[in-house]
A and B are shown apart, each in its own frame.
Chain A
């Protein structure tokens, strides 16, 4: 309630100097306003870039506060594989991190890994709705399939997963070496999915042990997530011998504890993650391994860290060359004839196309070639009428919907994105679509986004909107990896995790872009006491008293993380 104005009749009544004698409510400065602040939460670039849709900013912020179980619950919304992703994801969240321009990007993957590991064997209980009565078949127990199964189960459905191999995990199991993803991490995270009640039938190859049509008939929906299973052929003369082996086959053998079947001096062809993984695995198996890639390091599609670690471990990469012929004497490979390449015009991928240099052929000594120049799908299990509608993939939309009702597809078999995280996101989106469809409900908007971020309608916070006055320029914390010498003789995990102290320190570097932690800066700086704290509503920290807000914008300027935007008054 504003008080009455004080009217002075004489200078003698007036105070010594211009000091307020009443309260400031007399002065309704709100009438001056032509812009006004809105307290909003904006989209942080990390969360925006996460292919799995993880609410990165929230789990990092909670980790900074030491609320690790809450951080785990944030992750559990969108992924059953925090420990796995914390190890194998190429972390685009860090590439986009605004901190990179002030200090270095937050070590998000190490934070995710810590949280995942901490609760892996004793996961907190999650609330689930009652059983829907629906039963969904998932083909493939890779990251897309298990992500979809996990989400469907969390929504109250029954799920059965069909896996061709003897162990679940798909590419996580057979495509990623133990030194990057220790088996106990994967086992633990899959165990949680099984413990929730997801049925996984291993050694069940669809098309052999059970027909696709039977699944379509028996289940309420079928999600196809068989991934990439076949290596592309080398395309060199003489590439049809037993001594030319697909890289993913070698990885499968190693990961399933079989003999790798590779000679003493293998040449790995390719520049992607499979090439890196198979070369480093063969090094650990005592082979004199080298890599050949037809472009330069700049064009290599493998994760940068994997390339760096491979070079650290002493594996040689020959750039700008490619095999053209396998040379054999008496049926035994003695070498590979290669041709040198140069980079030409950019191709469809935007990378410069390698062009052979005529007459530059030369021979690299090798007794075995391992191909890792890309993978393809094997869709032969599908009935002919469906197969006829496929190309290199199963065409599906962002929500996994195919041309056929009840049939959904996701992961590499649909988009070929080639990362675990993208597959997890695809599986989750498909699960949302399947569940909504089976309930007869509309698919929620922003299905790709973590539920805890869905009401954020603002823009992605740019670095320029971070108020650096409130942050210290601190370097990124990075756990020290295993020493080269012991690690190349074993499959021990190369990269180490955070200590709890480092976890907290690193998480505290986070700007929390666009995410209000109720720091009270706006409340403190408002010269008109027009920012009011809301104590009762945990989701709404501050409101603006429009009778007094004169639109000065101090609150927006002093917000460290762009949670206040000024808008014109209409």
Chain B
């Protein structure tokens, strides 16, 4: 089936395809239409799930944790301040090894209050032990919800998939929607190895002493390492079954490119157009889209960027006092390759608080990275009113 859906509706329909059993969610702009659509799907019988209305995002995640611990497949969605309020329980879900799937609609943090997109809300949760996907299109949102369950339930870790406020959340696109039966062939029912069961009682999330805490953390790292392969296979299998795949990272016109623009989210779409333009004008420019941020696909990034002249990382976020967060990630990944293969890495801050990242903006970055011989300074702010 094909329908014209917003990005938010695509997230909701993804949860419907995956037959999430418990929805525990609290509304917040610009996420609200996700849970409205889910409420519709539950109410009209298309999704056989328990919809839990809660009084806060903290409780929304607590509801998911409880239901997931009892063996149910759960889904929730939030944005910005709501995600921040969940923070404690994001750790809980991850350390509890509960494969919750959540959509986060990227929205700038307040104050000043903003409903427009940037990545600081999701990136502030980078270290909570969740897998992170950044999506570029409504179709990718729906497909990533389904893939997320496959990966999460294999490695027993929760997944956050991110879509840009309004650029995706409220923009309509044609989306292919697989049936629940088709999806079920890709995604078998959730069968946890250990869960709340009165016939086999265990206490969960209890106290541990110094002698084993580190080991539990290490087991998460092992699972994250494993998740890279699992996620890649999940994407391959998805492509085989549905004809669509995205990779963990996606190179665009990179084969012979000396200069690489690193992007994520909807900026990647704009960058594709810009790269096409620049190529026509004879620039040796390509684009690398980062789809999976956690676990970080070190090897793939190194392989792709190794031997390039310069890399420009477009960060729609700012770690104040440090720089763009994707920039740090890429620099970190590229440190361990031989010096003669190591590109210079330029950091650019763009589009905070929903400011438009137009083809002209991206072209100006491509121009800057080609022109400036040394990547001096940690970051360049693009379009700033000086």
Query: Residues on A close to B: CB < 8 A?
Result: 8, 11, 14-21, 24
Contact of A20 among B97, B206, B219 (CB under 8 A): B206
User: A11 to B219, alpha carbons, bound, how many Å?
Assistant: 7
**Knowing that A14-B219, A16-B97, A17-B216 are A-B contacts, what are 4 other residue pairs whose CB atoms are under 8 Å apart, sorted by A's residue number?**
A17-B194, A17-B204, A18-B205, A19-B194
A24 contacts which chain B residues (CB < 8 A)? 203
Q: Are B194 and A18 in contact (CB under 8 A)?
A: no
Contact at B215–A16, with CB atoms within 8 Å?
no
| B204–A18 touching, CB < 8 Å | yes
**Is B202 in contact with chain A by the CB < 8 A criterion?**
yes
Instruction: Tell me, rounded to whole Å, the shortest Cβ–Cβ distance linking A285 to chain B.
Output: 66
Q: Say how far B154's CB is from chain A's closest CB, in angstroms.
A: 13
Q: In whole angstroms, how far apart are the Cα atoms of A16 and B69 in the complex?
A: 12
- With a cutoff of 8 Å between Cβ atoms, the chain A residues found around residue B206 in the complex are 18-20
- By beta carbon, the residue of chain B nearest A24 is B203
From A14, A20, A21, give the contact of B215 (CB < 8 A).
A14
| B255 vs chain A, min Cβ distance (A) | 42
| Interface residue from A14, A16, A21 paired with B193 (Cβ < 8 Å) | A16
24 A-B pairs in the complex with CB atoms less than 8 angstroms apart? A8-B212, A11-B215, A11-B222, A14-B212, A15-B194, A16-B97, A16-B193, A16-B194, A17-B95, A17-B194, A17-B204, A18-B204, A18-B205, A18-B206, A18-B207, A18-B216, A19-B194, A19-B203, A19-B205, A19-B206, A20-B202, A20-B203, A21-B202, A24-B203
A87 to chain B, nearest CB (A): 51
Instruction: List residues 45-77 of chain B with CB under 8 A from any CB of chain A.
Output: none
Q: How far is the CB of A84 from chain B (nearest CB, A)?
A: 54
Q: How far is the CB of B381 from chain A (nearest CB, A)?
A: 42
Which residue from chain A places its CB closest to the CB of B204 in the assembled complex?
A19
A8, B213: Cα distance in complex, Å = 12
- Closest CB-CB distance, A5 to chain B, in whole Å? 11
Is B104 part of the binding interface, using a Cβ–Cβ cutoff of 8 Å?
no
Number of A-B contacts (CB under 8 A): 43
Closest-by-CB residue of A relative to B219 is A11
- On whether the beta carbons of A17 and B203 are closer than 8 Å, the reply is no
Chain B residues with CB under 8 A of A17: 95-97, 194, 204-205, 216
Q: A21 CA to B212 CA in the complex, in Å?
A: 14
Contact with A along B66-97 (1 / 0, CB 8 A): 00000000000000000000000000000111
Decide: A14 and B202 in contact? CB cutoff 8 A: no
CA distance in complex: A14, B213 (Å)? 11
Q: Which residues of A contact B202 (CB under 8 A)?
A: 19-21
- Set of chain B residues within 8 Å of A8, measured between Cβ atoms: 212, 215
B164 at the interface (CB under 8 A from A): no
Interface residues of B in 185-216 (CB under 8 A from A): 193-194, 202-208, 212, 215-216
| Complex A-B, nearest 3 residue pairs according to Cβ-Cβ distance, in ascending order | A11-B215, A20-B203, A17-B97
Chain B nearest Cβ from A524, distance in angstroms: 15
For A21, the closest partner residue in chain B by CB is: B202
CB distance from A1 to the nearest CB of B (A): 17
Q: Which of B96, B194, B207, B218 contacts A11 (CB 8 A)?
A: B218
Q: Which residues of B contact A (CB under 8 A)?
A: 95-97, 156, 193-194, 202-208, 212, 215-216, 218-219, 222
Question: In the complex, A11→B208 CA distance in Å?
Answer: 14
The answer for the CA separation of A20 and B205 in the assembled complex, in Å, is 8
Tell me, rounded to whole Å, the shortest Cβ–Cβ distance linking A88 to chain B.
Answer: 52
Task: Report the nearest A residue to B215, measured CB to CB.
Answer: A11
Q: Return B218 CB to nearest CB of chain A, in Å.
A: 5
Q: Which of A11, A17, A19, A21 has the most CB of B within 10 A?
A: A17
Q: Give min CB distance, A339 to chain B, whole Å.
A: 68
Q: Which residue of A lies closest to B98 (CB)?
A: A17
Which residues of the other chain, B, contact A14 by a CB distance below 8 angstroms? 212, 215-216, 219
Contacts of A20 in B (CB 8 A): 202-204, 206
Nearest neighbor of B207 in chain A, beta-carbon distance? A18
User: Please, how many angstroms separate the alpha-carbon atoms of A17 and B223 in the complex?
Assistant: 12
Q: Complex: how many Å from CA A18 to CA B205? A: 5
Per the bound structure, the CA–CA distance linking A16 and B218 in Å amounts to 11
CB distance from A177 to the nearest CB of B (A): 59
- In the bound complex, what is the Cα–Cα distance between A24 and B222 (angstroms)? 29
A153–B307 Cα distance when bound, in Å, is 112
Which chain A residues lie closer than 8 Å to B218 at the CB level?
11
Complex Cα gap A17–B97 (Å): 6
Query: Do B156 and A16 touch (CB < 8 A)?
Result: yes
Contacts of A18 in B (CB 8 A): 95, 204-208, 216
A548 smallest CB distance to B (angstroms): 14
Q: Which residues of B contact A11 (CB under 8 A)?
A: 215-216, 218-219, 222
CA distance A8 to B216 in the complex (A): 12
With both chains docked as a complex, state the minimum distance between the C-beta of B227 and any C-beta of chain A, in angstroms. Answer: 14
Using CB atoms, name the residue of chain B closest to A23: B201
Distance in angstroms from B212 CB to nearest chain A CB is 6
Q: Which residues of B contact A16 (CB under 8 A)?
A: 97, 156, 193-194, 219
Q: Which residues of A contact B203 (CB under 8 A)?
A: 19-20, 24
Bound CA span A185–B37, Å: 69
Question: With the chains together, A336 CA to B68 CA distance in Å?
Answer: 88
Q: Which residue of B lies closest to A8 (CB)?
A: B212
CA distance A21 to B194 in the complex (A): 11
Q: Collect the chain A residues with CB atoms within 8 Å of residue B205's CB.
A: 17-19
Alpha-carbon separation in the docked complex, A8 to B204 (Å): 18
Q: Which residues of A contact B216 (CB under 8 A)?
A: 11, 14, 17-18
Closest residue of B by beta carbon distance from A20: B203
| Chain B residues with CB under 8 A of A19 | 194, 202-206
Q: Which residue of A lies closest to B203 (CB)?
A: A20
List chain A residues, Cβ under 8 A from B204.
17-20
For the complex, give the distance between the alpha carbons of A11 and B216 in Å.
7
Complex Cα gap A11–B211 (Å):
11
CB distance from A16 to the nearest CB of B (A): 5
Whole-angstrom distance between the Cβ of B55 and the nearest chain A Cβ: 18
Rounded to whole angstroms, the CA-CA distance of A24 and B216 in the bound complex is: 20
Closest A residue to B222 by CB, please name it. Answer: A11
Give the residue among A14, A18, A20, A24 with the most B Cβ atoms within 10 A.
Answer: A18
Smallest Cβ distance from A25 to chain B, in angstroms? 12
Closest Cβ neighbor of B95 among chain A residues:
A17
Determine the residue in chain B with the shortest Cβ distance to A10.
B215
A450–B204 CA distance with the chains assembled, in angstroms: 49
Report the bound CA distance from A24 to B194 in whole Å: 18
Measured CB to CB, the closest approach of chain A to B197, in angstroms, equals 11
Q: Which residue of A lies closest to B220 (CB)?
A: A17
Using Cβ atoms and an 8 Å threshold, which residues of chain A touch B96? 17
CA A14 to CA B219, docked complex, whole Å: 9
